[in-house]
Structure 1
Amino acid sequence: MNARTAALRSGLARGWIEFKQTWTNLDDVVGQLVFVVLFLGTLFFMRNATLPGTALSLGAATVPSVLGAGIVFNGLTGAAGYLAVDREDGTLLRAKATPNGMLGYLVGRTTALSLQQLTSLAAVLVPSLFVFSSLAPDGAWSYLHLLGVLLLGFFATMPIGAALGSLTKNARSTGLIVLPVMGLGAISGIFYPIIALPGWVQTVAQVFPMYWLGLGMRSALLPDSAVIVEIGHSWRPLPTLAVLLAWSVIGLTLAPILLRRMARREAGSSVAERREKAMQRVG
């Protein structure tokens, strides 16, 4: 077994262990449960409202949008947050000092974050399938379609999140990433049709992956009658594929460059300096 293969295997094992550890930490479990309960409660109370121009439940129409937004939010902020914390506490420095350690670290973090996102998605989707019978009308094809969009979403968000995380100075700086992502959620048609927004806002939303992930999720899980509230009355599968692939290429191009630059700058003195500043803030 060569060194890179060993790093990949250790990274996968590390990711699985970290994922399991999230279920042994009460704060992590409560945080995930609160998120799921809030969204399910909101969707449940929306069940009797209908999507404008259709007989489809507004709650059902919102489910795939929420899933798409969750993938973007967790992919960007989760990856950035992990990197910022691990940079501050010296985890990245230890990975850098190990042969192929950065590769194993990135595989581990990506594995853990992907499993967490899949768990969150299932926690919202499975109950919703029982509440809203109109979801996944094409059976197995709907789920395969959903899986394809989900994989594209991972590639379109997590590398960008890692790139942004490599630019942050410390864990508290990740708030500068959270706020713009929340702003994108407000204009990307998550809780209401995007066609209700001004034209220029629609144009801005379509530059970023959140709108397209929501659209892809809706095309996978909703009946064709729901397309009436989409831009151009179309699911636009080719533009969805093109935009998500474009963001994937951008992320996969930038992330390795920025991560290598960040790793080169890591040293014991810089970690000690960040710890000293953190202790001063606490004191």
Structure 2
Amino acid sequence: MSPTTPATTAVRATTAVRPGLARGLIELRQSFTNGGDLLSHLLWPVLMLAVLYAVRNREFGGDGLLLGTLALPSVLGMNAALGMVSMSQHLTADREDGTLLRAKAVPDGVRGYLIGKVVTVGGGLLADLAIFLVPALFIVDGLAVGPGSWPTLVWVLVLGMAATLPIGAILGSVFSGARAQGLIQLPVLGMIAVSGIFYPVTALPDWLQVVAQLTPVYWLGLGMRSALLPDAAAAVEIGASWRHLETAGVLGVWAVLGLAIAPVVLRRMARRESGSGLAARREKALRRAA
């Protein structure tokens, strides 16, 4: 067996990245040409826009901020965080239909598969956010959208997805059954509940504020608010500051940990996959359907 060198490792990484990117882009394009997938891309933004329109003129508290103004970055942050659930569901579906088993048979196929799924889920998520955000900017008043808002929004989104999507891949590998998907949503919803996305985290007990700051969802929501809300809104945040450096640092740590752990967990799950196991699961599913 030839020894593994940095050069061979780089070549293997490249051979996984290229087909992974190609696969992800193909799946992403298909999701916008398939009727059912296209409806799912449009349904959430339309529903959220209707909610924003209904609350656009209601004031929040006595600080003069409108409820719709505060809700817009919250909706963006929540949907970005729910990308974890989408990633987990994709992995479970591909395990059930044999896609992951076929990827396992290709050299570096699991790594390429994971890259493709990040492109598919991340690209679909960005498209959904854009479909929602563009008309929302014309519906909601009081936003502080300036030249610096867009770079902040971009880096927060990129770092946020890099921090959260690998968590979805890990959860989808550990809880790999279709029935377990309901259990996966519980910790994700729990993180969202204490993250301060829908109300100031400073209203929570001190120990819950500490817990919230350990999750990437809190920092994702804080970054969204810093990009779109006026500086006066930072008064209800911890330290009365948007804390950009801390946001980048914590999201960066989560991204590094997730991108390092997710491929390992996914490969271990893929090694347990076999044709006989897939056939047994299909037979069991048919018996339940009957």
Match of 1:214 among 218, 221, 232: 221
Counterpart mapping for 1:129-278 below 5 A: 129-139=137-147, 141-278=148-285
Measure, in 2, the Cα distance between the counterparts of 1:187 and 1:44: 26
Would the aligned equivalents of 1:49 and 1:59 in 2 still touch at CA under 8 Å?
A: yes
Q: Are 1:19 and 2:35 an aligned pair?
A: no
What residue in structure 1 maps to residue 58 of structure 2? 49
Measure, in 1, the Cα distance between the counterparts of 2:263 and 2:12: 19
TM-score normalized by structure 2? 0.90
Question: What do the CA deviations read for 1:169-206 (whole angstroms, capped 9, x no partner)?
Answer: 31221111112212322222223222233333323222
Question: Which stretches in structure 2 are left out of the alignment for 5+ residues?
Answer: 1-10
Q: Are 1:104 and 2:91 an aligned pair?
A: no
Q: Secondary structure of 2:82's partner?
A: helix
Counterpart mapping for 1:68-147 below 5 A: 68-74=77-83, 76-139=84-147, 141-147=148-154
Measure, in 1, the Cα distance between the counterparts of 2:251 and 2:286: 41
Shift of 1:237: 1.7
Count of residue pairs the alignment pairs up: 281
What residue in structure 2 maps to residue 66 of structure 1? 75
Would the aligned equivalents of 1:52 and 1:229 in 2 still touch at CA under 8 Å?
A: no
Structure 1 range deviating more: 165-174 or 22-31? 22-31
Amino acid at match of 1:279: L
Identity, % of aligned pairs?
53
Measure, in 2, the Cα distance between the counterparts of 1:3 and 1:193: 46
Amino acid at match of 1:130: F
Amino acid at match of 1:46: V
Question: Which stretches in structure 1 are left out of the alignment for 5+ residues?
Answer: none
Question: What do the CA deviations read for 1:45-66 (whole angstroms, capped 9, x no partner)?
Answer: 2211234342222211221121
Question: What do the CA deviations read for 1:53-87 (whole angstroms, capped 9, x no partner)?
Answer: 4222221122112111211111x111111111111
Q: Secondary structure of 1:178's partner?
A: helix
Shift of 1:230: 1.3
Would the aligned equivalents of 1:18 and 1:112 in 2 still touch at CA under 8 Å?
A: yes
